Amino acid sequence: MYPETTEHVMYLNFNETAIKELPQSTGHLSRLVALNLRDCKQLGNLPDSICLLKSIVIVDVSGCSNVTKFPSIPGNTRYLYLSGTAVEEFPSSVGHLWRFSSLDLSNCGRLKNLP
């Protein structure tokens, strides 16, 4: 749970921390624009509530080698960095991203197919 004072948070940076999971309440950060989880080696899969982040533009989980699946992607997402993850499948919601600019799937050796 995040404290109530986080309602105006626009950027979360957990780069290279030992975080193991994001709380479901992350999806309620309505003004969140950027979520940086790069190189969080102990991080598991992201909560499904990520799809509720209507303002999110940048999501970076590069180097999070325990991430095996990615939830539905919010429609405003423009930059998605999944390099070095263990993602096996990519959500079909990627087809609904009309503002999408960049997708990095390099070093995703377990990725089997794209929608």
pLDDT tens for residues 5-45?
A: 577 899 999 999 999 999 988 998 999 999 999 999 999 99
CATH number for 86? 3.80.10.10
Q: What does the pLDDT average to over 60-72?
A: 94
How many domains, the chain? Answer: 1
Q: Are 59 and 35 in contact (CB under 8 A)?
A: yes
Laid out side by side, the sheet with 102-104 consists of 11-13, 34-36, 58-60, 79-81, 102-104
In a domain, 19, yes or no: yes
The average confidence (pLDDT) of the chain is 89
Q: What does the pLDDT average to over 75-99?
A: 84
Q: Residues, the chain, total? A: 115
In a domain, 115, yes or no: no
Domain that holds residue 82: 1-110
**Whole-angstrom Cα distance, residue 27 to residue 16?**
21
Q: Is the pLDDT of residue 55 over 90?
A: yes
Task: Enter the DSSP assignment of 93.
Answer: G
In a domain, 65, yes or no: yes
In a domain, 28, yes or no: yes
In a domain, 1, yes or no: yes
